[in-house]
Every structure is written in C-alpha cells, then in structure tokens.
A and B are shown apart, each in its own frame.
Chain A
Amino acid sequence: AQSVTQLGSHVSVSEGALVLLRCNYSSSVPPYLFWYVQYPNQGLQLLLKYTTGATLVKGINGFEAEFKKSETSFHLTKPSAHMSDAAEYFCAVTGPGGYQKVTFGTGTKLQVIP
C-alpha cells in the first residue's frame, strides 16, 4: 500500500519569499506523484505530476517539484510567493497500475503574508 506524509499542516511565508511544501511518500512500486491545489469550497486543480523521466517537474503558476527516490520525497517549491498562492495543497501518490488508486496527504494550508 502507498502513503503520503505532508510535513506541516500550516505554512506561512511572506509575499515574495520562497515557498517550500514538504511531501514524503511510501510506495512498494515506482510511484506516480502529484501536487494539487484547492481553493476554498472548490475542487482540486492539478499543479504538476511526476510519472517517469525527468525528476524535476515544472507545473502551473511557477511551481515545481523534484522527485528524489533516495529520500522518498517530492517537495513543492516556488521561488517567490504571491498572495494568490494562498490555498490548501495536497500531495498524492498512486499505487500499482498507475492512476487507479490515488492516496492523498493530509494537506498543507499555505498562508501568504503581505
């Protein structure tokens, strides 16, 4: 079975500062990894995903994440936070068979301070 651990349920950064949201995963097979963003009372929007190939993945809104197999991590970063980045972020991992069963982390709420 696969699992995801997101360190820090709340993260606060100043506008313009680096955003770093941490995600560690556990999977018995090569994982597919995702980051989703959720704004209040809305569904999930895919930020980026890693399946195979290049370990540094670039997504929308200036976010990127790096798959590090040796550390079983898939941390999300953005060089400069914007007020519009304030939202909840979920890391997710799939199990065997690709996208069939997605397991979500508990989420990290990002606050951006002006």
Chain B
Amino acid sequence: GAVVSQHPSWVICKSGTSVKIECRSLDFQATTMFWYRQFPKQSLMLMATSNEGSKATYEQGVEKDKFLINHASLTLSTLTVTSAHPEDSSFYICSASDLPGNEQFFGPGTRLTVL
C-alpha cells in the first residue's frame, strides 16, 4: 500500500516552454502533497506544500508564479514549471500523506532537463 507515482519520469524541453508534472496517490487519498527539488549531488529541498482544494504554501525563495501547483483532487497534484530555463533543470520529487501531519510517501521523481 501507500504507492505514489509520478509522470513523466523524465522530460526534456526547450527553454521558454512550460512543463507539467503529475503526482498521484494510487491506493490512498492524499489530503496533503509536497513537492521537492533535488539538484545534482544535493539533498531534497521542500518547494511547497499543497492541501487538496486550497492554495499551495510555498517555501521562502520559491517563485509561486513560476512553479504552479494544483491539488484539485485527493489523488492528484500537478506541478507546472512555467517558462522553463536551464537553471530549472533538476530532479523533482513529490510526496503525499493521507492527513496533515501523517507520514509522507514519496514518488519516484521526475528528471527535468531544459535545453
């Protein structure tokens, strides 16, 4: 149980385009989802926390207009990187929990490369 999937697993896009990454909880309802970014050889940094049906809470330094997060259902959250630039190239990982404060289960990650 407690499986989280991400799609796509990797994506390459041109600079200036937008990319959408999906995070799904497959066997539980996730009221809270988290988005992390991991640069090469570095740790995971929390970007934002989203609760189903409400606006995401972004961490300091994360541009909310650039990284659009939608958590419209209890099993799906999306991260859209708008007007992507090469510096946005990173490994994006989501996690989900059934209730705020409960254990997070992590997805397999999405490798984004912006050319």
Contacts and interface: CB of A to CB of B under 8 A. Distances in A.
B100 A100 contact: yes
Contact of B107 (A43, A46, A98): A43
A90 B102 CA distance: 19
A8 to B, nearest CB: 14
Contact of A106 (B43, B46, B108): B43
Contact of B43 (A41, A98, A100, A104): A104
Contacts of B42: 106-107
Interface residues of A, number: 19
Number of contact residues on B: which range applies? 20 to 34
A101 interface: yes
B97 interface: yes
Contacts of A106: 42-43
B97 A99 contact: yes
B43 A43 contact: no
Contacts of A98: 101-102
21 contacts: A36-B106, A41-B91, A41-B109, A41-B111, A43-B93, A43-B107, A43-B108, A44-B44, A44-B93, A45-B106, A46-B106, A99-B97, A99-B101, A99-B102, A99-B103, A99-B104, A100-B49, A100-B100, A102-B46, A102-B104, A105-B43
Interface of A: 36, 41-46, 49, 90, 97-102, 104-107
